[in-house]
Amino acid sequence: MTTNKPRPELNRYVLPIPERVPPHDTPMNAKEAQSPPAKEFLRPPAGAPNVLIVLIDDMGFGASSAFGGPCLMPTAERVGKEGIRFTRFHTTALCSPSRQALLCGRNHHTVNMGGVTEVATAMPGNTGLRPDTCATVAQILKYNGYSTGAFGKMHQTPTWETSPSGPFDHWPIGDGFEKFYGFLGGDTNQYAPPLVDGVTPIEPPKTIEEGYHLTEDLVDQVLNWTGSLQTFTPDKPWFAYLSFGATHAPHHVPKEWVDKYKGKFDHGYNKQREITFAKQKELGVIPKDAELTAPTEWLPEWDELTDDDRKVSCRLAETYAAFATHTDHHVGRLLDTLEARGVLEDTLVIYILGDNGASAEAGPYGTFNELAYQNSIGMTTADILPRLDEIGGPNSFNHMPSGWAHAMNAPYQWSKIVASHWGGTRVGMTMRWPEKIKAKGELRHQFHHLIDVAPTILELAGVPEPDFVNGIQQKPLEGVSMAYLFDEAEADDRHTTQYFEIGCNRGIYHDGWTAMTMHRLPWPDKRETVGEIEDDIWELYGPDDWTQAHNIADQNPDMLRKLQDRFLIEAAKYNVLPLDPRQRERFDARVAGRPDLLNGRTSMTFLPGMTRMNENTVPNVKNTNFTVTAKVELGAEPANGAIIAQGGKFGGWSFYMKDGVLAYAHNWVGLETFIVRADEPLGKGSHDLLLDFAYDGGGAGKGGMVTFTANGKAIGAGHIEKTVPAIFSFDDFMDIGHDNGEPVVEDYGPTGGTFTGAIEMVRIDLNGESHHDHDLSLKAKYAKQ
């Protein structure tokens, strides 16, 4: 029998939505059958919009012109003028935690992202592994009939899961994105990024010489993807998550964009805070009675700097601003194209101007190479000044001084990493969708947080929060939808309590009050003394203190105590405890207790062609003795190119050949490159090669003795003065037979790093002491020279 009953409503509380096959007649011969109704394509409820999230990296509240800052961002202004600007919107103060909270609609410790992925630990709240009980908004939308795509920086995949072995559950495609084009790490070279398409490493579509830039490529990718969807499934909405590497260091942007800002920052960062503050009051993004917080005593006053200091400082600030403007320009290109295609009016645009405040990590003088900071190696003006014209280009990995970060967070105190103050957590956010947001150019001053974005999207899409996803019962979303205030500018706040914690910098917001304590500075400083977390001094700010300008803890001990208690309650509720004051130590997987792909192995054998191996997935050769063994076949012509290389132009090492001669190069954070060469070339035929590195010891980052052996014969040795102590690169990995990305050394010859011989295998062994006593006399001979 057949039935004409209406089809039942889909059960969107259980995902994937269970398939229902209606009863139908089943004769033996299909010619006599009346077919059941054709299966309908899964779609979200009628009226669901396309969703575009644009996320800028490392941008403070006072950076964008949309919120009174010096970085011209007309597209951000446009979205605000065509919709709403949110003036009290908050992040977690750090990259990975903010991104996980944004996509999951839950606090960052709930989804196990208490810090960046590289410092995950074994403790709940910090494991770096999103629990299956916390589905992402991408998963929910996909299972409700959306197309989903992620483009750009992710920084949420556990480092030990980034090898070709996976697993891929925590890659973007496992987080609910059907399309992924971008990079997995914390930052990247904008001119030569390690791109991934799905789970496949790929090369950029153009070279540096051809004018490649990642920002432009990402926008092209979004346009190509959405254009294809419009052609094939015009009735199916899409969710695009466009997460730029900008404006995180390195601040890479074509020189013509930097030149537009020449001289615009000559007045200095103290004056810039005052200029921004006045503009913010004019725009209404802060109240007329708000007070500008005092400059931090930890940074030099602008007038205390030398002329050369100021020259370098201004160029670094100009480059940051140019990077922001360049990125916003391409967001404008995206919106203009969507508008020309007739889909912009059906698209909810959420433009978030920072995953945290601007970064002060480069210290008071800035840096030419951000990887130097990551290795606790400070740069001075003298290091940067000779290369002033290279700032922003492919030969730099630059980052601006802390004083400019403070200015870009105006009117608030502090910066990225400081989860205790608004300078680290409060950012600008604009939103438009004419269908539901009738307001044009209005402000909303209600308190909100990244965890409120996912509930907002679900409400506007008409999609319920699911009870089960993939058979797993879900934890409730911890954010609240912001849709309640679209038509009610004066609506009461619905997000009334929020904890903050990054690296023991912590705070609590409740009913307008804030209590905060800062455990450590957001930049390296010799004066810094870090005490016990129990001794941290708390501050208190009242509901009428918009900028946290007046600490009233001494006058209100009872209120401070209540808020401290509330922080502990929230911390216990959301897996924040125990607090972990360790910093650099957590980069070592053994210390942190997180999974280690090597699982105790001290050696690994690699095959030719293996590439893009994250340093968290291979033996760690830093601060220890090690050997590299290689079996190669050389031709008649002198061999050139890398046998094995790790890292790149801004830090790393390479075991290679130049004109048939073995060599070892150690690039010390882009400041110096030490090269040891063998005494004689190798001829045609098979060769068993050995590089022995005997570490000097005595701490991290020390030098070591390099000895070369070919076919059992020692053929040269030399000493390396310094080595990279902590991290080679976030975005340039280990390669066999190549040096992909930006090369470790400019000494490979005509092949540009590709080895001209044949490689059978390459092996790394970590040793507590040198294996090669037979060549100690040779080592001693070279050590005396």
Q: Decide which of 491, 519, 550 is a domain's last residue.
A: 491
The helix (run of H) or strand (run of E) holding residue 665 is strand 661-668
Q: Which of 526 and 153 is assigned the larger pLDDT?
A: 153
Q: Which of 373 and 510 is assigned the larger pLDDT?
A: 510
- Is 334 within the bounds of a domain? yes
Q: How far apart are CA 103 and CA 578, in angstroms?
A: 25
Q: Decide which of 460, 491, 522 is a domain's last residue.
A: 491
- Is 355 within the bounds of a domain? yes
Instruction: Compute the C-alpha angle 126/418/316, nearest 5°.
Output: 115
- Is 759 within the bounds of a domain? yes
Q: Is the pLDDT of residue 4 over 90?
A: no
* DSSP code at position 649: T
* SS3 of residue 399 by DSSP: strand
Instruction: For the chain, give the percent of residues with pLDDT over 90.
Output: 85
- Whether 621 and 479 share a structural domain: no
- Is 576 within the bounds of a domain? no
* SS3 of residue 500 by DSSP: strand
- Is 286 within the bounds of a domain? yes
- Whether 68 and 189 share a structural domain: yes
**pLDDT, tens digit, 9 for 90 and up, residues 28-66:** 888 888 877 777 899 999 999 999 999 999 999 999 999
| The pLDDT of residue 774 | 34
Q: How far apart are CA 423 and CA 414, in angstroms?
A: 5
- Is 445 within the bounds of a domain? yes
| The pLDDT of residue 777 | 38
| The pLDDT of residue 682 | 96
Q: Is the pLDDT of residue 589 over 90?
A: no
Residues 247-263 as b/e (b if ≥16 CB within 10 A, e otherwise) read: bbbbbbbbeebbeebee
Q: Using pLDDT thresholds of 50, 70 and 90, give the confidence band for residue 24.
A: confident
What's the CATH code of the domain at 476? 3.40.720.10
| The pLDDT of residue 526 | 53
**pLDDT, tens digit, 9 for 90 and up, residues 70-124:** 999 999 999 999 999 999 999 999 999 999 999 999 999 999 999 999 999 999 9
Mean pLDDT of 453-479: 98
- Whether 213 and 357 share a structural domain: yes
Length of the chain: 785
| The pLDDT of residue 525 | 65
Amino acid at 335: L
Q: Using pLDDT thresholds of 50, 70 and 90, give the confidence band for residue 782.
A: very low
Question: Do the bridges between strand 513-517 and strand 538-541 make them parallel or antiparallel, or are there none, so unpaired?
Answer: antiparallel
Q: Which of 602, 604, 652 is nearest to 629 (CA)?
A: 604
**pLDDT, tens digit, 9 for 90 and up, residues 675-692:** 999 999 999 999 999 999
Structural domain boundaries, residue 104: 50-491
| The pLDDT of residue 783 | 36
| The pLDDT of residue 474 | 98
- Whether 475 and 617 share a structural domain: no
- Whether 471 and 620 share a structural domain: no
Q: Which residues contact 702 (CB under 8 A, 6 or more apart)?
A: 623, 695, 696, 722, 723
List, in sequence order, every residue forming a beta bridge with 658; answer none if it has no partner: 661
| The pLDDT of residue 785 | 32
Q: How far apart are CA 688 and CA 634, in angstroms?
A: 11
What's the CATH code of the domain at 610? 2.60.120.200
| The pLDDT of residue 768 | 53
Q: What are phi and psi of 760, to 5 degrees?
A: -90, -45
> Does residue 626 contact residue 618 with C-beta atoms inside 8 Å?
no
Q: How far apart are CA 632 and CA 519, in angstroms?
A: 52
> ω into residue 8 within 30 of 0, thus cis?
no
- Whether 767 and 631 share a structural domain: yes
Longest dimension (CA), the chain: 97
Q: Decide which of 461, 491, 521 is a domain's last residue.
A: 491
- Is 400 within the bounds of a domain? yes
Mean pLDDT of 380-406: 96
Q: Using pLDDT thresholds of 50, 70 and 90, give the confidence band for residue 8.
A: low
> Does residue 416 contact residue 72 with C-beta atoms inside 8 Å?
no
On average, the pLDDT of the chain sits at 93
Amino acid at 286: I
- As for how many domains the chain has, the answer is 2
- Is 159 within the bounds of a domain? yes
The helix (run of H) or strand (run of E) holding residue 531 is none
- Whether 606 and 483 share a structural domain: no
